Amino acid sequence: MEFIDILLYPGFDELDAVGPYEVLESAGFDVRLVAASETVTASHGMTVVTDGDLRPAPSLDCLVVPGGRWNDRSTAGAWSEYENGRIPRVVAEYASRRVTVASVCTGAMLLAEAGVLDGRPATTHHTARDDLAAYDVDLTTDRVVDDGDVLTAGGVTAGIDLALRLVERERGPQARQSVQRTLEYGEWDTNK
């Protein structure tokens, strides 16, 4: 695994995307922020200039989907993207190309709507667990669930754990420990 896209949309949660971005970039992955537009405004007002559009690059290995603004049913955020179906369609297209798909927080709802969590273990933010349970998933309360080509992470900061899991899985425990030391991120159990 070398090339990772983080899919942004209006109202995404900043830490859901920026935390994994920093971890993965620090580990030497080629990470892009992709969206349907050149700039995207996140849930707390941060505006991000993206690196590319939503078309899967031929060499892409992994797609990370952040959450944000699910519970308030905002006109911008995961709920809005779930309702209009655009992001779930994009996620389904990536998954059909055998790209590893990962979510942070309520980004799991977008993966569920895309059908990529069907019959798999998954987690999401604690406030969206009932919503995720309505799908054909084996709902867990783990911070990170790694089911091979699909990974999910619980609440906002669990995105850092998810990215560290990818680092360890692809580059080994020493690489993960090195990134943890660089970021001064506390001890982390890779089995949870």
Task: Name the pLDDT band for 54 (thresholds 50, 70, 90).
Answer: confident
Residue 39: give the domain boundaries: 3-183
Task: Name the pLDDT band for 52 (thresholds 50, 70, 90).
Answer: confident
192 inside domain: no
Q: How long is the chain?
A: 192
190 inside domain: no
- Residue-wise pLDDT for 113-151, tens only, equals 999 999 999 999 999 999 999 999 999 999 999 999 999
- Residue-wise pLDDT for 23-37, tens only, equals 999 999 999 999 999
189 inside domain: no
User: Number of structural domains, the chain?
Assistant: 1
The mean pLDDT value of the chain amounts to 94
Residue 101 is part of a domain; what is its CATH number? Answer: 3.40.50.880
Which residues are known catalytic residues?
Answer: 105
191 inside domain: no
Q: Give one DSSP letter per residue of the chain, joined into a string.
A: --EEEEE--TT--HHHHHHHHHHHHHTT-EEEEE-SSSEEE-TTS-EEE-SB-SSPPTT--EEEE---STTTT-SSSHHHHHHH-HHHHHHHHHHHTT-EEEEETTHHHHHHHHTTTTTEEE---GGGHHHHHTSSEEE---SEEE-SSEEEE-STTHHHHHHHHHHHHHH-HHHHHHHHHHHT-----TT-
Task: Name the pLDDT band for 186 (thresholds 50, 70, 90).
Answer: confident
Residue 189 has pLDDT above 80, yes or no: no
**Better-scored residue on pLDDT, 54 or 162:** 162
- Three-state secondary structure of 120-170: EEECCCHHHHHHHHCCCEEECCCCEEECCCEEEECCCCHHHHHHHHHHHHH
The pair of structure tokens assigned to 73 is: 């049913």
Task: Name the pLDDT band for 100 (thresholds 50, 70, 90).
Answer: very high
74 inside domain: yes
105 inside domain: yes
Q: Are 68 and 105 in contact (CB under 8 A)?
A: yes
Residue 188 has pLDDT above 80, yes or no: no
- Residue-wise pLDDT for 68-92, tens only, equals 999 999 899 999 999 999 999 999 9
92 inside domain: yes
188 inside domain: no
**What confidence score (pLDDT) does residue 58 get?**
73
Residue 191 has pLDDT above 80, yes or no: no
CA distance 158 to 132: 17
Q: How far is CA 116 from CA 102, 111, 172, in A?
A: 10, 6, 26
Q: Are 77 and 65 in contact (CB under 8 A)?
A: no
**Better-scored residue on pLDDT, 20 or 155:** 20
